[in-house]
Amino acid sequence: MNVDFSHYPRPGMYDELVASEGVARPAAQRLTDYLGTIPQDEFEARVAAVNAAIMTMGITFTVYSDAGNIDRAWPFDVIPRIIERHEWTRIEAGLKQRLTALNLFINDLYNEQRIIKDGIFPAEVLAGSKNFRTQCRGITPRYGVWAHVCGTDLVRDHDGTMYVLEDNLRVPSGVSYMLENRQLMKRLFPELFRLCEILPVDDYTTQLSDTLAALAPFDSDERPVIAVLTPGIFNSAYFEHSYLAQQMGAELVEGSDLVVGDDDCVYMKTISGLRRVDVIYRRIDDDFLDPEVFRADSTLGVRGLLRAWRKGKVGLANAPGAGVADDKVVYTFVPKFIKYYLDQEPVIPNVPSYLCMYEHDRDYVLANLDKLVVKPANESGGYGMLMGPCSTAEERAQFAGLIRANPRNYMAQPTLALSTVPTYVDGNLAPRHIDLRPFVLQGKQSYVTTGGLTRVALCEGSLVVNSSQGGGSKDTWIVA
Amino acid sequence: MLSRVAENLYWMARYLERTEDTARLINATTSVVLDMPHGTAFGWNMLVKAASLDELFSKHYDNAYEDSIMRFLIRDERNPSSIMSCIHLARENTRTFREVLPWEAWEGINELYLYAREHLQADMSRSARFEVLNAIIYRRQALVGLLAGSMSRDVAYQFLRLGRNVERADMTSRIIDVTTAVLLPRNDEPGTAYLNLLWLSVLRSLSAYQMYRRHVAVHVRPEQALDFLFNDAHFPRTITHCMDEVGECLAMLPKNTDALRALRSVQRRLRGADLTHLVDGSLHEFMDAIQGDLAALHDALSQQYFYFYRNQAEQPAAVAMGSAQA
């Protein structure tokens, strides 16, 4: 096919595969050479085969507004995103450092709150937190870890700097797409895997299974019973819940399949009676987890689950209340957590941020709404944001009102020129903006996925990569 | 095995069996209708009656012509037993327990669904219909073969097998019942010939014609055909064979007393049947009774395996129950 990068990268942009003057970066050289050797019609046939495989494999994602149509195919772009191993080693260390600090912070908040007493973290931020669960005060889960699974969003700016954009500590999703994307690439371009030294990704489910098993309430050689708790088939990430249960040999359960007994143990309802569950990987938000302590109207959760967990009768990942650190305002303090708890400098910096709770920052944000991205503290999936540069005056006025009414709930960041990767669009390779979500595990040990899920904004110029907002994904290669 | 998963497995197998059996019934009937004398009271609406769907059909359609009946049986999603509905429901069920099936099984069922959605068109010619239904049967068979060849004979497999055999026995009974709807003059030479032809079509619908000829007789006679479809232990679509399969599954499941009792009722009724008497006039009532027995068997399975624990009080007595095997 025609591989012409002479118009790359666009001015003021950083491209992951193409350096200045349209020359492929060293790590991408073999890929681009290879692409150049494939006839256009064969390339197109393979793309068509990928799309057919996606349909047959049923790799789907539900979009909330598509009521009635339960799933839609998850758009996949065949041009991979490539990161060199030496860079990845550094990022990996940075991700582990960050999650370690976050878990120390969460455990501190639910116990002594030293960080508030020492004046590092403002009590008013905690007071305004939606996801702080007072029911969890005084608990220290095993290993002191609350967030066992974290999806950290990374972005690269025009100068090549990699930043942490946000930490997803509640029920981060996407890892199944990362694994499936690799399967697709191997199925369709096996030659590439001989040409390029691409590190494998499929260790994740084993690592997740080990992380969960280490949370079992007993120590024995017996294999603990692990269940993945899903809200059900109407959840947008149901495909992933099912996929992970399948890969781990775990039970996929809904709330109605479980019951907490008089002995505070959790049981699942089987054809031959009740069977004890040792560890639950829950993919339900705190609010819906246990109607006994959280939202009483929840039909998705399990009555008494929190009680069972408090008494150490069941392992829960992520722990209830871990979401307190999944807050875009708390995010801005993470570099301070790293310094405070670990006495280290952050390996991966935060995106510079303005906190609307501080008058000085707020004035700046209100005066520059057309340049900034404004985010509410507790939303995820790209909902409730203002993308300043492409907003209307009306939207900006609305956000100014929202910010003034509840300054604690908003933060703002400059609009980054997210890096691009050549993407196959209408028969040509065109630059599209991307981000990266690696998945980090912490428990008895720490683990970082080899690469992560690269999400791509398929519309020209768009910076919104969220799958719930029409983004797609790419395979991510860490090459030796 | 979770009760909810067991139920979904069982229903998935029933829906897929119903898909295939309906497709076979339509193809075989198409062929026999062409041979029927003009003025015979056998019509396409028999297919709807055999499936006990006549009320639902007349709610949505004004006439019982071939094309409306075919649309209703093949692709109308208002009919929960149409081929399209069954495939759709089987797929939605599979979605909830993909983790217990071999990976390729999901791809297989997904592929079946995508094929059906694309090819089950509103107005198909008889020949196109034949081709598409055959392709659906073929895909469903590939799925059965995949499961047979790559799935452990675990509890999950037993629930698939239960669903398949309960549904198959029910469909066999309904296809046999089709013969009772034909009003041909008795003891009239051409009439008898057509009756025999009808039984031949029944055997064909069940893919049983060839095995009948090999193991019973070359000529198709109502009484012998009925005996074969009721009592032959070796042909996989006879009611006896299906019930034997159910018995084998139950032997591998816990707490099977009630279901075994229901199973024995079906078997007793089959054994006590007076075949000569039946072909002379009371076959329809008898098939109704068999279908009633099968419904009771289904209820016994539901009560024990699908709803028993789900219906119990929220607070179970935890003593000793935790040790039960799933």
Q: How far is CA B123 from the centre of its chain?
A: 25
pLDDT at res. B319 = 29
- Residue A150 burial by Cβ neighbours in a 10 Å radius (0-12, 13-18, 19+): buried
Q: Identify the residue among B5, B152, B252, B323 best suited for mutation to test binding to A, counting A beta carbons within 10 A and taking the highest.
A: B5
pLDDT at res. A66 = 46
Nearest CA in chain B to A264: B318
Half-sphere exposure of B195 (CA within 13 A, CB side): 20
* Residues sharing a CB contact under 8 Å with residue A466, sequence separation 6 or more, in sequence order: A381, A382, A455
- B192 found inside a domain: yes
Q: What is the DSSP letter of B2?
A: B
pLDDT band per the 50, 70, 90 thresholds, residue B184: low
Tell me the mean pLDDT in the region B195-214.
87
> Are A117 and A75 spatial neighbours (Cβ–Cβ below 8 Å)?
no
Nearest CA in chain B to A243: B99
> Which of A56, A70, A246 lies at the smallest CB-CB distance from B98?
A246
* Contact state of A57 with B255 under an 8 Å Cβ cutoff: no
Tokens of A128: 């305004």
Give the closest-approach CA distance of A378 to chain B in angstroms: 30
Tell me the mean pLDDT in the region B184-198.
66
* Residues sharing a CB contact under 8 Å with residue A73, sequence separation 6 or more, in sequence order: A51, A54, A55, A59, A60, A61
pLDDT at res. B165 = 97
Residues of chain A found within 8 Å of residue B252, distances taken between Cβ atoms = none
Tokens of A200: 């494998």
pLDDT at res. B41 = 60
The predicted complex's ipTM stands at: 0.75
Find the length of chain A. Answer: 480
Query: Helix, strand, or coil here: A163?
Result: strand
pLDDT at res. B167 = 97
pLDDT at res. A466 = 73
Nearest CA in chain B to A251: B99
* Contact state of A254 with B321 under an 8 Å Cβ cutoff: no
pLDDT at res. A463 = 79
Helix ranges (H only) for chain B are 3-33, 45-50, 54-60, 66-74, 83-95, 103-119, 126-150, 155-178, 189-205, 209-215, 222-231, 239-251, 257-271, 275-277, 283-301, 308-311
CA angle A282, B312, B162 (to 5 degrees): 80
Task: State yes or no: pLDDT of B325 exceeds 50.
Answer: no
Number of domains in chain B: 1
Of the options 3.90.1300.10, 1.20.1300.10, 3.20.20.70, 3.40.50.11290, the CATH number for the domain spanning A89-172+203-342:
3.40.50.11290
> Are A261 and A247 spatial neighbours (Cβ–Cβ below 8 Å)?
no
Task: State yes or no: pLDDT of B317 exceeds 50.
Answer: no
pLDDT at res. A72 = 66
Q: Identify the residue among A271, A277, A278, A311 best suited for mutation to test binding to B, counting B beta carbons within 10 A and taking the highest.
A: A271
- B130 found inside a domain: yes
CA distance A101 to A98: 5
> Are A447 and A166 spatial neighbours (Cβ–Cβ below 8 Å)?
no
* Contact state of B110 with A269 under an 8 Å Cβ cutoff: no
Domain that holds residue B173: 3-310
* Residues sharing a CB contact under 8 Å with residue B173, sequence separation 6 or more, in sequence order: B239, B287, B290, B291, B294
Q: Which amino acid is at A236?
A: S
- B324 found inside a domain: no
Give the closest-approach CA distance of A336 to chain B in angstroms: 42
CA distance A298 to A288: 5
> Which of B99, B253, B317 lies at the smallest CB-CB distance from A271?
B253
Domains A89-172+203-342 and A354-414 in one fold: no
Q: How far is CA B182 from the centre of its chain?
A: 21
Cis peptide before B63 (omega within 30 of 0): no
CA distance B128 to B107: 25
Cβ atoms within 10 Å of A6's Cβ, excluding its own: 8
Give the closest-approach CA distance of B108 to chain A in angstroms: 8
> Which of A57, A261, A274 lies at the smallest CB-CB distance from B309?
A274
Query: Helix, strand, or coil here: A226?
Result: strand
Residues of chain B found within 8 Å of residue A253, distances taken between Cβ atoms = 2
- Tell me the Cα Rg of chain A: 23
- Sign, CA torsion B294/B297/B301/B302: positive
* Contact state of B315 with A262 under an 8 Å Cβ cutoff: yes
Query: Helix, strand, or coil here: A443?
Result: coil
CA distance A186 to A195: 12
- B21 found inside a domain: yes
- B320 found inside a domain: no
Nearest CA in chain A to B304: A271
Nearest CA in chain A to B93: A233
Find the length of chain B. Answer: 326
Query: Model confidence over B10-60: pLDDT tens digits?
Result: 999 999 999 999 999 898 888 777 777 766 666 788 888 888 898 999 999
Instruction: List chain A pLDDT tens, one digit each, 480 residues.
Output: 888 888 777 788 899 999 888 889 999 999 999 999 999 999 999 999 888 888 877 766 655 444 455 566 778 999 999 999 999 999 999 999 999 999 999 999 999 999 999 999 999 899 888 899 999 999 999 999 999 999 999 999 999 999 999 999 999 999 999 999 999 999 889 999 998 999 999 999 999 999 999 999 987 678 899 999 999 888 878 889 988 998 898 999 999 999 999 999 999 999 988 999 999 999 999 999 999 999 888 888 999 999 999 999 999 999 999 999 998 899 999 999 999 999 999 999 999 999 999 999 999 999 999 999 999 887 766 678 898 888 899 999 999 999 999 998 899 999 888 999 999 988 889 999 999 999 999 999 999 999 999 999 988 888 777 766 668 999 999 998
Task: For chain B, give the longest Cα–Cα distance.
Answer: 71
* Composition of chain A by helix, strand, coil, percent to 5: 35, 25, 40
Give the closest-approach CA distance of B96 to chain A in angstroms: 7
Residues of chain A found within 8 Å of residue B316, distances taken between Cβ atoms = 259, 261-262, 267, 274
* Residues sharing a CB contact under 8 Å with residue B288, sequence separation 6 or more, in sequence order: none
Of the options 3.30.1490.270, 1.10.3720.10, 3.40.710.10, 3.90.1310.10, the CATH number for the domain spanning A354-414:
3.30.1490.270
Of the candidate ranges A17-26, A257-266, B80-89, B249-258, the one whose mean pLDDT is the lowest = A17-26
Tokens of B101: 């099936």
Spell out a b/e string for B86-117, using b for 16 or more CB atoms within 10 Å of the CB, else e: bbbbbbbbbbbbbbbbbebbbbbbbbbbbbbe
Tell me the mean pLDDT in the region B202-215.
90
* Contact state of B99 with A252 under an 8 Å Cβ cutoff: yes
- The residue whose two tokens read 């080990």 is A210
Query: Model confidence over B125-157: pLDDT tens digits?
Result: 888 999 999 999 999 999 999 999 999 899 999
CA distance A270 to B326: 6
* Contact state of B95 with A274 under an 8 Å Cβ cutoff: no
Q: Which long-range contacts (CB under 8 A, 24 or more apart) does B284-289 make?
A: B284/B177, B284/B180, B287/B173, B287/B174, B287/B176, B287/B177, B287/B180
Cα dist from A268 to A319, B157, B254, whole Å: 20, 20, 16
Nearest CA in chain A to B311: A269
pLDDT band per the 50, 70, 90 thresholds, residue B192: confident
pLDDT at res. A221 = 74
Query: Model confidence over B272-314: pLDDT tens digits?
Result: 999 888 888 889 899 999 999 999 999 999 999 998 766 554 4
* Contact state of A261 with B316 under an 8 Å Cβ cutoff: yes
Closest CA to A164 of A390, A406, A334, A317: A334
Q: Which amino acid is at B173?
A: S
* Contact state of B4 with A256 under an 8 Å Cβ cutoff: yes
Where do the structural domains in chain A lie, given as residue ranges?
A: 89-172+203-342, 354-414
* Contact state of A271 with B155 under an 8 Å Cβ cutoff: yes
Nearest CA in chain B to A302: B314
Q: Which residues of A make CB contacts under 8 Å with B?
A: 55-58, 70, 233, 238, 242-243, 245-246, 249-254, 256-257, 259, 261-263, 265, 267-276, 303
* Contact state of A303 with B155 under an 8 Å Cβ cutoff: no
Residues of chain A found within 8 Å of residue B114, distances taken between Cβ atoms = 55-56
Tokens of A98: 């960050």
Give the closest-approach CA distance of B43 to chain A in angstroms: 37
Cβ atoms within 10 Å of A343's Cβ, excluding its own: 7
Q: How far is CA A280 from the centre of its chain?
A: 19
